Amino acid sequence: MDKGISAITQNQIIEELDLNNDIVNPKKIKTAKSYLNILPPIIAGLISVIVNYGGTFILIFQAAQMAGLSPELTASWVWSISIGVGITGILLSWYTKEPIITAWSTPAAAFLITALIAVPYSEAIGAYLLSALAFIILGITGYFGKLIRLIPVSIASGLLAGILLQFGISAFSNMTIDPILAISMFFIYIIAKRFSARYAIVCVLSFGFILLLLQSQINFSGLELKLATPIFTEPTFSINALLSVALPLFLITLTGQYMPGLLILKNEGFKTNAKPILAITGLGSLLMAPFGSHAFNLAAITAAICTGKESHEDPSKRWIAGVAAGVFYILVGIFGVTLAALFAAFPATFISTLAGLALLSTIAGSLANAISDNNTREAAMITFLATAANINLFGIGGAFWGLVLGLISYFILNGKFKIK
């Protein structure tokens, strides 16, 4: 039996392709299999986009509200960040042939909810430009990629497992909140995975969407597609905005997005070069900043949906997920707030359950890698637990502190850093 397609499914395809002929055309079968092969990474890309818009995009609306932005400026922010993320994701995935998933900086969006209150919008735009310029310089020098390569595999795996743990837990804690939806999605997942692991998440997404429609939890009757119009804001610069917006924005995005994102790719066996990612996303952020985009970067959590086996069993095919996600981001950007609001309308239990089930294999693989080496097992577990605890000090999130504590533990317990 083919790993991705059961014998029954293959026979059905053959029958549908050649109802009127006694001899099956091999070219038609090959074409059909090719389409089925690219479906899982496309669905993985779609799920990553749904999770992003349905999960954290509300932070951008909150930040825009706190800044007193008009609906037109808010729509421009949505347009610029969606189009920018889409284009950079497509370019990087196509160029590297790796699943380079880009996204807006979620921790930075949360930071801006309070930061934009005290800074004029034009100065905030200037701060976005300075932060983007810093990422371009960092990408050109290549120092960040060298630093990432020094981190041991077990520590990187513990970090990834800690970042994703809450998503895995949510898939099951939702059984208390919405038992019908969460439990049924879980059983669809394990039954589908028993017969075809490649299409398990496709089945869960389809089933969950149909169930939500039947329960009237989502409604498309009021949906009206409207094209977004970008609005250029002339930037202004100040020392206050540099220190209170640009510098924190740079550090938060670097430690909360780029670092875990690169480690996720490393953990899945990809030999990712950080230089083009930092340079291209930095350049994209620079170009889109005058239209409202605060920062886009390498994704972390949603990247894990597209980098593992759930996306495609063949790692060389997973880059398709990056291209697919980019296309979906561009579609949302074209229609601005309308489609973003549509994604945000999905129930939180559906989004988090879908994400948790999609990440189960990645969490399991990360934990296995973290504890596989007896010498580094304890340091890896410290990294895992400290990251999962989501320590927040000086405005810097749990991924950074989990890595710091893990590396300190690794150094003390093992005497020296080991490059694997």
Which residues, other chains included, contact 295 with Cβ-Cβ below 8 Å and sequence gap of 6+? 104, 105, 108, 128, 131, 132, 135, 249, 253, 285
Residue 54's pLDDT band (cuts 50, 70, 90): low
Highest mean pLDDT among 95-109, 279-293, 399-413: 279-293
Cβ–Cβ < 8 Å for 384, 162: yes
Q: Is the pLDDT reported for residue 8 higher than 50? A: no
Cα radius of gyration rounded to whole Å, the chain? 22
Residues 117-153: tens digit of each pLDDT: 878 889 999 999 999 998 898 888 877 777 767 778 7
What integer pLDDT is reported at residue 241 of this predicted model? 83
Residues 386-410: tens digit of each pLDDT: 888 877 776 666 677 888 888 899 8
Q: Which residue has the higher pLDDT, 25 or 21?
A: 25
Q: Is the pLDDT reported for residue 73 higher than 90? A: no
Residue 343's pLDDT band (cuts 50, 70, 90): low
Instruction: Round to whole Å and give the CA distance between 53 and 324.
Output: 15
Q: Which residue has the higher pLDDT, 281 or 17?
A: 281
What is the average per-residue pLDDT within 22-31? Answer: 54
What integer pLDDT is reported at residue 2 of this predicted model? 43
* Token pair belonging to 28: 């038609």
Q: Is the pLDDT reported for residue 321 higher than 70? A: yes
| Least confident stretch, 74-78, 90-94, 251-255, 401-405 | 251-255
| Least confident stretch, 235-244, 302-311, 403-412 | 302-311
Domain ranges of the chain: 7-137+169-349
Give me the phi and psi of 200, to 5 degrees please: -60, -50
173-186: buried (b, 16+ CB within 10 Å) or exposed (e) per residue? Answer: ebbeebeebbebbb
What is the average per-residue pLDDT within 299-328? Answer: 82
What is the average per-residue pLDDT within 241-246? Answer: 81
What integer pLDDT is reported at residue 339 of this predicted model? 61
Q: Which amino acid is at 59?
A: L
Stated pTM of the model: 0.66
Instruction: Round to whole Å and give the CA distance between 23 and 198.
Output: 29
What integer pLDDT is reported at residue 420 of this predicted model? 47
The mean pLDDT of the chain is 79
Q: Which residue has the higher pLDDT, 297 or 65?
A: 297
Distances (CA, A) of 383 to 79, 117, 264, 419: 37, 35, 14, 17
* pLDDT-above-90 percentage for the chain: 13
| Least confident stretch, 28-32, 116-120, 351-355 | 28-32
| Least confident stretch, 277-291, 317-331, 333-347, 351-365 | 333-347
Q: What is the DSSP string of 84-143?
A: HHHHHHHHHHHHHTS---EEE-HHHHHHHHHHTTSS-HHHHHHHHHHHHHHHHHHHHH-H
What integer pLDDT is reported at residue 341 of this predicted model? 62
Q: Is the pLDDT reported for residue 223 higher than 70? A: no
Residue 94's pLDDT band (cuts 50, 70, 90): very high
Q: Which residue has the higher pLDDT, 243 or 224?
A: 243
Residues 168-221: tens digit of each pLDDT: 888 898 889 888 889 998 998 888 888 776 667 778 878 888 888 888 777 666
* Token pair belonging to 335: 């229609």
Q: Is the pLDDT reported for residue 69 higher than 60? A: yes
What integer pLDDT is reported at residue 10 of this predicted model? 47
Q: Is the pLDDT reported for residue 33 higher than 60? A: no
* Token pair belonging to 160: 């990834």
| Least confident stretch, 1-5, 219-223, 254-258 | 1-5
